[in-house]
């Protein structure tokens, strides 16, 4: 059964990620602006818990998971921006942008392909499809090598999609992949770039 809400969410996720990467690369979007966007959506989230603002309510009804509309409105956007900003803060620009594009393409494509074409459930996560994960990894890899080399892009995408497929949890709570995926991708790329010298210091 096609989940229309999740399809819309992943398309929005794809557009948001491509906008962040492109606008940051060309100097239109800065770290300061991303931080202000996080604050803006954080405030909007708090207000939306109490009041129905016309545009905000439209976005929530069309793009937010039902369980978060009252509990944590705009959770996906806040974590996506937060994960992107953290990657930019922690890593060199090319690694950060590769990490964000891995999140953007890997997450969106893996869901969309899994939803429409997937047949094989992952043994360790029945909600994910093998075909989706492989397609997501391929697209993430192709996007990442715009910024990093083939080896870095391959292993960054591989480990990021393993994390994406695993659906990590702390207790009963899911770890938001918008936050963890770019950190895993960026860390793996950085380790391959430095020849794992960080472990030798």
Q: Residue 144: give the domain boundaries.
A: 4-200
Instruction: Give the integer Cα–Cα distance in Å for 90 and 96.
Output: 8
Contacts of 68 (CB under 8 A, 6+ apart): 75, 76
pLDDT tens digits along 20-29: 999 999 999 9
Overall number of domains in the chain:
1
Phi, psi dihedrals of residue 146, rounded to the nearest 5°: -65, -30
Whole-angstrom CA distances from 199 to 153, 190, 194 are 21, 12, 10
| CA nearest neighbour of 159 among 132, 139, 187, 119 | 187
pLDDT tens digits along 21-56: 999 999 999 999 999 999 999 999 999 998 888 899
- Determine the pLDDT at residue 176: 80
Query: Model pTM?
Result: 0.89
């Amino acid at each position: 059964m096609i989940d229309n809400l999740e399809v819309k969410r992943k398309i929005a996720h794809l557009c948001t990620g491509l906008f962040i990467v492109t606008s940051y690369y060309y100097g239109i979007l800065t770290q300061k602006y991303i931080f202000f966007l996080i604050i803006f959506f954080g405030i909007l989230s708090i207000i939306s818990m109490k009041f129905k603002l016309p545009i905000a309510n439209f976005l929530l009804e069309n793009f937010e998971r039902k369980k978060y509309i009252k509990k944590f409105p705009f959770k996906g956007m806040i974590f996506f921006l937060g994960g992107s900003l953290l990657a930019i803060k922690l890593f060199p620009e090319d690694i950060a942008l590769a990490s964000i594009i891995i999140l953007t393409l890997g997450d969106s494509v893996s869901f969309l392909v899994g939803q429409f074409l997937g047949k094989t459930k992952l043994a360790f996560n029945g909600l994910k499809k093998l075909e989706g994960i492989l397609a997501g990894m391929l697209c993430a890899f192709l996007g990442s090598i715009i910024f990093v080399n083939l080896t870095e892009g391959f292993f960054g995408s591989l480990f990021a999609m393993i994390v994406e497929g695993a659906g990590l949890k702390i207790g009963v709570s899911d770890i938001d992949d918008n936050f963890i995926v770019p950190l895993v991708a960026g860390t793996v790329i950085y380790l391959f770039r430095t020849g794992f010298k960080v472990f030798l210091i």
